[in-house]
Amino acid sequence: MTTSAGITCLLACVAFVNAGILLEHAPECPEHYGVQAYAHPELCDQFFLCTNGTLTVETCENGLLFDGKGAVHNHCNYHWAVDCGHRKADCEYHVLGSYSSPGCEFQFGIYPDSEECSTSYVKCAFGIPEQEPCTPGLVYDHRTHGCNWPDLLQPFCNPEAVIGFKCPTKVPANTQSAKFWPFPRFPVPGDCHRLITCVEGQPRLITCEEGKVFDDQNLTCEDPELVPHCGHA
């Protein structure tokens, strides 16, 4: 946490930079060991970086802003995830020009790879787009810039088409699936790591936690030694 003395020091640094004075003559960092990053009091795309007492003014890459929590690149975060408050964030000069790559609005960003419901998305780093898959059973949600359950994106997405399963309207009371009502479970044929559960009549594909396998008899995820036919899956 920045001390009051540290804040005064960094504000003084702003004055030095704005006055065109060499940064090497600016006040010292609040802390002299380790790496600390501090928000610029005026600009959201810049920040102060102290590395073992050496102070530098850093600028976030195109499409990124500073919030003190970012881990996308050099302490910065995606612009849509940052609350700049009173700090200036003029995104117009961040927009890529003629050197932009197809699918990348900014050098750094996450974007849909299709106008339709999709199980993957495009992740841009340094202007290079890479297609990234969602976890099986999930689809890209432009509202969160991440992957989500397809039933939460209706009618844009059809959960039955994504999962390849239609939930029954009734489940016989004497079946194992009924024991999990109102979220009945069903096995995925030939899959030792996943199951299907129905939420309000729509299917969701669930993956067992790491180190577990799916037991298609009791419809739960178990230790591999308890499920012989999946023990080496």
Share of the chain above pLDDT 90, in %: 61
Mean pLDDT computed over 144-153: 96
Spatial neighbors of 176 by CB under 8 A, at least 6 apart, are 185, 217, 218, 219
Q: Which amino acid is at 74?
A: N
At residue 152, the pLDDT reads 97
Confidence of residue 90 (pLDDT cuts 50, 70, 90): low
Tell me the CB-side half-sphere exposure of residue 8, using CA atoms within 13 A. 3
Mean pLDDT computed over 110-122: 93
Confidence of residue 159 (pLDDT cuts 50, 70, 90): very high
Checking if the pLDDT of 31 tops 90, the result is no
Residue 150 or 225, more confident:
150
Residue 35: C-alpha distances to residues 27, 48, 229 (Å): 17, 11, 51
Residue 25 or 127, more confident:
127
Q: Return the exposure string of 196-223: e unless at least 16 CB atoms fall within 10 Å of the residue's CB, then b.
A: bbbeeebbbbbbbeeebbbbbeebbbbe
At residue 22, the pLDDT reads 40
Confidence of residue 70 (pLDDT cuts 50, 70, 90): confident
Checking if the pLDDT of 36 tops 50, the result is yes
At residue 199, the pLDDT reads 95
Q: What is the mean pLDDT of the chain?
A: 84
Mean pLDDT computed over 74-80: 94
Mean pLDDT computed over 114-120: 93
Confidence of residue 81 (pLDDT cuts 50, 70, 90): very high
Checking if the pLDDT of 21 tops 70, the result is no
Spatial neighbors of 195 by CB under 8 A, at least 6 apart, are 185, 186, 187, 188, 205, 206, 208, 214, 219, 221
Report whether 163 contacts 203 (CB < 8 A).
Answer: yes
56 vs 42: CA distance, rounded Å: 16
Tens-digit pLDDT profile for residues 164-210: 999 998 988 888 998 999 999 999 988 989 999 999 999 999 999 99
Structural domains of the chain, with CATH: 4-91 (no CATH), 109-161 (no CATH), 165-230 (2.170.140)
